[in-house]
Amino acid sequence: MTFKLPNQQRGFSLVEVLISVLVISISFVSVMKLQSYVEVRSEQNELQLHAMRIAQRQIDLWENVGGDVSCNGVTVTLTLANLESCKTNFESFTGQVTKLNEITDSSGNILQKRLSIDVTWTDRQGSSGTVTLYSTQTASNALLRS
């Protein structure tokens, strides 16, 4: 005796199963690519934030004009003349200090310097990024007046 199921109670066909496996596979690959993209963007944001902290640390060092500071591992008295040569530790990043302009009086004394700090990095995918901060230092800084 053979038992036949009515047409409404038949299972899935092989084609239907293969199509559903294909759709699930494509969805899984898409989610994995999205997760990878989010991870890379998160790393880039962290690197950018860390680079900004390093650049800000450089500006904070320059706020001590007139005082004794550690520049490149050596203690020196920081002046407007040696400002751009006094650098903080850029750690695993690359740092560049550029003098944009300088204002002097008639005697040649430096009254103001405008500098930029570029902190550059390369992420694990080989993409590079740069953060640039600008600073203006003047002869009227608090330590110079003391």
Confidence of residue 134 (pLDDT cuts 50, 70, 90): very high
Residue 99, pLDDT score: 92
Examine the pLDDT at 144 and tell me if it is beyond 60: no
The DSSP element (H or E) to which 20 belongs, if any, is: helix 14-62
**What are the boundaries of each domain within the chain?**
14-145
**Cβ neighbours for 134, distance < 8 A, ≥ 6 positions apart:** 100, 114, 115, 116, 117
pLDDT tens-digit series, residues 55-107:
999 999 888 888 888 887 788 888 888 888 888 888 889 999 999 999 999 99
Q: In this structure, which amino acid lies at residue 36?
A: S
pLDDT tens-digit series, residues 25-63:
999 999 999 998 999 889 999 999 999 999 999 999 888
